[in-house]
Amino acid sequence: MRNPDISGAYDEQRCKDIERSIIKKYRKEIWCKFTKAINTYKLISDGDKIAVCISGGKDSMLMAKLFQEILRHGKKNFDVVFLVMNPGYNKLNYDLIMTNATIMGIPVQVFESDIFDVTSSLVEGSPCYLCARMRRGALYAKAKELGCNKIALGHHYDDVIETILMGMLYGGQIQTMMPKLHSTNFEGMELIRPMYLIREEDIKHWCNYNELKFIACACKMTEKRDASVNPGDVSKRAEVKELIKELREKSPYIESNIFKSVENVHLNAIISYKTNKTGRHHFLDTYDEGDF
């Protein structure tokens, strides 16, 4: 049994074992779903230069290894940069990110920012939304500076279905986390999510199998909060995650039905909808014309 207390030294055999586990043991659960998402949603094109954005968590670190594997085994002609932004991690978290990058053989490029300090000073309570937007903007800017035309984020299947339910329950809207998006602020840049079809449970199994330890949320504000003392500090996403877990116990189809719900939208059974180009449409606008 390998000692889970990682030393930070590069071990070529261990790195090969980690890579082999992706292609062999977790081929169906991880590798095939990664390549399926890329092909289904046309996430990668020949000539792309992709900034693979690594936060240090399990999802983005696995995504980096998946990109290394597809470069080795795939047919696409593209390039990648493994990009780590340090928004103000404490030393323990930062060291763990760099240690894991060494262990896994990922040649990361690091750039510094002060986003954690800025957001904590601007927002009372949870700064998560503002922090996420600022971090994404900083990643876009750095990626463009490096000549990239895309950034890749490590959101997975469970993030998608949680986002759908959060929008309905807390936002009063139906929308999803898209597999790819054109940037509205950085011309020529695109965001892709190649982990879109991979289940979080399988990512955790892969981590445990390889005895890898990654950072969770590294936000300074999160470190200060204690949900047992302040129940309001439990995030809406955590609440929705727990709700989905409860629903799954009643039906094994709940999660896939949530995911498919935004693929099977019938506009004739929607009161109103809107698009970025044409604005808001209400069913009464064309009701008397027999469209409904």
Q: Are residues 76 and 144 in the same domain?
A: yes
The C-alpha atoms of residue 97 and residue 8 are separated, in whole angstroms, by 10
Task: Say what the pLDDT of residue 233 is.
Answer: 43
Domain tally for the chain? 2
More confident residue, 112 or 180: 180
Please check whether residue 63 is in contact with residue 154, taking contact to mean a CB–CB distance below 8 angstroms: yes
More confident residue, 137 or 19: 19
Q: Are residues 286 and 229 in the same domain?
A: no
Task: Say what the pLDDT of residue 6 is.
Answer: 45
Instruction: State percent of the chain over pLDDT 90.
Output: 70
Q: Is the pLDDT of residue 151 over 70?
A: yes
Task: Say what the pLDDT of residue 291 is.
Answer: 65
Dihedral sign for Cα 143, 128, 68, 109, please.
positive
233-282 residue pLDDT tens: 458 889 999 999 999 999 999 999 999 999 999 988 999 999 988 999 99
Q: Are residues 288 and 162 in the same domain?
A: no
Task: Say what the pLDDT of residue 134 is.
Answer: 80
Residue 2 located in a structural domain: no
pTM: 0.88
Residue identified by tokens 């890749």 is 152
Residue 1 located in a structural domain: no
The C-alpha atoms of residue 283 and residue 273 are separated, in whole angstroms, by 9
Q: Is the pLDDT of residue 130 over 90?
A: no
- Give the mean model confidence (pLDDT) for residues 282-292: 84
Mean pLDDT lowest among 73-77, 149-153, 267-271: 73-77
Q: Is the pLDDT of residue 206 over 80?
A: yes
Q: Is the pLDDT of residue 178 over 50?
A: yes
Residue 44 located in a structural domain: yes
Q: Are residues 256 and 275 in the same domain?
A: no
Q: Are residues 214 and 140 in the same domain?
A: yes
Task: Say what the pLDDT of residue 74 is.
Answer: 74
pLDDT bucket at 226, cuts 50 / 70 / 90: very low
Q: End-to-end distance of the chain based on CA atoms, in angstroms?
A: 64
Q: Are residues 234 and 108 in the same domain?
A: yes
87-127 residue pLDDT tens: 888 899 999 999 999 999 999 999 988 676 666 666 555 56
- Give the mean model confidence (pLDDT) for residues 146-171: 96
Residue 3 located in a structural domain: no
Q: How many CB atoms lie within 10 A of CB 261?
A: 15
Q: Are residues 272 and 200 in the same domain?
A: no
34-61 residue pLDDT tens: 999 999 999 999 999 999 999 999 999 9
Which two tokens mark 83?
């990009």
Q: Are residues 248 and 269 in the same domain?
A: no
Which two tokens mark 60?
């983005």
CATH code of 249's domain: 3.40.50.620
The C-alpha atoms of residue 241 and residue 258 are separated, in whole angstroms, by 13
Residue 4 located in a structural domain: no
Residue 19 located in a structural domain: yes
Q: Are residues 206 and 269 in the same domain?
A: no
Q: Is the pLDDT of residue 17 over 80?
A: yes
C-alpha separations of 171 from 108, 244, 257, 261, 265 in Å: 37, 17, 20, 17, 18
C-alpha separations of 99 from 20, 102, 210, 215 in Å: 20, 5, 15, 11
Residue 153 located in a structural domain: yes
Residue 7 located in a structural domain: no
The C-alpha atoms of residue 101 and residue 260 are separated, in whole angstroms, by 35
Q: Are residues 38 and 143 in the same domain?
A: yes
Q: Are residues 283 and 152 in the same domain?
A: no
The C-alpha atoms of residue 165 and residue 157 are separated, in whole angstroms, by 13
Task: Say what the pLDDT of residue 192 is.
Answer: 98
Task: Say what the pLDDT of residue 123 is.
Answer: 57
| CA triple 127-135-235, angle to 5 deg | 35
Average predicted confidence (pLDDT) for the chain:
88
Q: Are residues 230 and 288 in the same domain?
A: no
pLDDT bucket at 289, cuts 50 / 70 / 90: confident
pLDDT bucket at 11, cuts 50 / 70 / 90: confident
Residues of the domain holding 290: 265-292
Encode 267-278: b = buried (16+ Cβ within 10 Å), e = exposed: eeeeeeeeeeee
